[in-house]
Amino acid sequence: MRWHAIFLIPLAACAPSDGSEAQAERGLISLAGQIEEQSLDEASGIVASRRRNDVLWFINDDGKATVHATDLTGKDIGRLRIDDADNRDWEDLAAFTLDDTPYLVVAGIGDNEARYDTYRLHVVAEPDLATDSKQSEAADWTVEFRYPDGSRDSESLAVDAGEGRAYVLSKRDLPPRLYAVPLQPAEDGVQTATFLGPVRSLPPPSRHEIEIAPLVKDWSWQPAAMDFSRDGRHAVILTYESVYLYRREADESWYQALNQEPLGLSIRPLRDAESVAFSADGRSLYVTTEGKNPPLIRIDIADALEMTIP
């Protein structure tokens, strides 16, 4: 079963930047709130809690090795410092449950100049905020990995706990390249990611867009975040211009699913969108941007999930 077609819905006036309480809705998109925590000014990753349906977790792409928690309106409700990790270009955040324990995966996969030899996934048990809203603990384990074909800058990570793998989508390749990384560390210290192939479903830029991008500082086609729904049936990829929603059939791999035609949602009026995540029930998406007190956008996808071809 496949999607009918691409859909485009404008975000105009949805996300006021003046800190107002406006909650104006535009089609499927609404302003859920604004991020309250002042230090979350370069939000690069977001994921729904596996402990509570009313909690979102965020990271910055540099600074302290801290994961921040908010409610579904962006109100600060807690944080977790990862004691034995450093924030070297943290770019995405994922979550999964293993043996009834919920975990967060912090992805240190950014590399603007393609100069690092290895990259790190820090896996830490999700804390119970009802017990203590400000906690500190060491990572339960860290996966260090390298790509089989040289250094890569990536900002998009999603986890399939059933497969025991994390998926990483490169940012600057045309088309983007999809890799799989085991969720457990290698016995000799460094895992080697598996190259699965290019993801050709994202609309490529024109030659003109490529040529003017350095002048206008706009690389709208590049993927900036990714997430899998908790039931394993859907995926989402965020670029600086759009959100792309994918359906995975029962007999498909994630690579096959991500190369099918997606549903596309324009978020063009938002600037510097960096993060996307499914809600706990999989019926909404949350998107946010960089900057102080950025908007927290909610996208209702419940109806879109039913749009299939017989």
- The pLDDT tens digits of the residues spanning 4-37 come to 333 434 433 343 343 333 333 344 889 999 999 9
> Tens digit of pLDDT for each residue in 135-152?
899 999 999 999 999 999
Does residue 5 lie in a domain region?
Answer: no
Residue 42, CA distances (Å) to 21, 172, 203 in order: 22, 20, 26
> Tens digit of pLDDT for each residue in 116-140?
999 999 999 999 988 878 889 999 9
pLDDT at 305: 79
> Tens digit of pLDDT for each residue in 207-223?
999 999 889 888 889 99
Does residue 250 lie in a domain region?
Answer: yes
Task: Decide: residue 11, CB within 10 A, 0-12 exposed, 13-18 middle, 19+ buried.
Answer: buried
Number of H helices, E strands in the chain: 2, 23
Q: Phi and psi of 213, rounded to 5°?
A: -55, -45
Does residue 73 lie in a domain region?
Answer: yes
Would you give the distance in Å from CA 81 to the centre of its chain? Answer: 20
What type of residue is 276?
V
3-class DSSP state of 211? helix
CB 237 within 8 A of CB 226: yes
Does residue 10 lie in a domain region?
Answer: no
Q: Which of 5-9, 93-97, 197-201, 295-299 has the lowest mean pLDDT?
A: 5-9
Does residue 14 lie in a domain region?
Answer: no
Does residue 41 lie in a domain region?
Answer: yes
Could you tell me the residue range of the domain that residue 250 belongs to? 25-306
CB 129 within 8 A of CB 70: no
pLDDT bracket for residue 245 (50, 70, 90): very high
- Taking residues 266-272, what's their average pLDDT? 81
For 120, the token pair is 């790190």
CA 60, CA 85: separation in Å to the nearest integer? 14
How many domains does the structure of the chain reveal?
Answer: 1
CB 246 within 8 A of CB 252: no
Q: What is the mean pLDDT of the chain?
A: 89
CATH of the domain at 176: 2.120.10
Would you give the distance in Å from CA 170 to the centre of its chain? Answer: 13
pLDDT bracket for residue 307 (50, 70, 90): low
Does residue 264 lie in a domain region?
Answer: yes
What type of residue is 33?
G
Does residue 273 lie in a domain region?
Answer: yes
